[in-house]
Amino acid sequence: MARLTAAQRKRLPDSDFADPKHRKYPIEDRSRAENADSRVANKSPATRAMVHKAVHRRYKDLPRPPKKKHKKTAGRHSAHDLRAAA
């Protein structure tokens, strides 16, 4: 994937971005779409959903990234858990 210059980015239509309102996450080709899909892993759930939806609308055969698994905190209990155990 070659670097996208500012001039090339300006020439892209809004439809070539996963976030057309802010012109973020270009998805004009498959490799950029895969990159956009992976770059939003640490973003808000709304941003992740918006980008995943745009990418998979255009490239239906791309595999979806795995859902985040929540880690359980070892040794920590909520007050409710402690009351229930007593």
Q: What is the pLDDT of residue 2?
A: 83
Q: Note whether residue 3 is domain-resident.
A: no
pLDDT along the chain (86 residues), means of 10: 90 95 94 92 93 93 70 59 58
Q: Looking at the 3D structure of the chain, how many domains does it have?
A: 1
Domain of residue 41, residue span: 12-66
Q: What is the pLDDT of residue 12?
A: 95
Q: Note whether residue 58 is domain-resident.
A: yes
Rounded to 10 degrees, the C-alpha dihedral 14/21/59/66 comes to 160
Q: What is the pLDDT of residue 71?
A: 61
| CB 27 within 8 Å of CB 55 | yes
Q: Note whether residue 83 is domain-resident.
A: no
Q: What is the pLDDT of residue 1?
A: 74
Q: Note whether residue 86 is domain-resident.
A: no
Q: What is the pLDDT of residue 66?
A: 63
Q: What is the pLDDT of residue 22?
A: 94
Q: Note whether residue 62 is domain-resident.
A: yes
Name the CA radius of gyration of the chain, rounded. Answer: 19
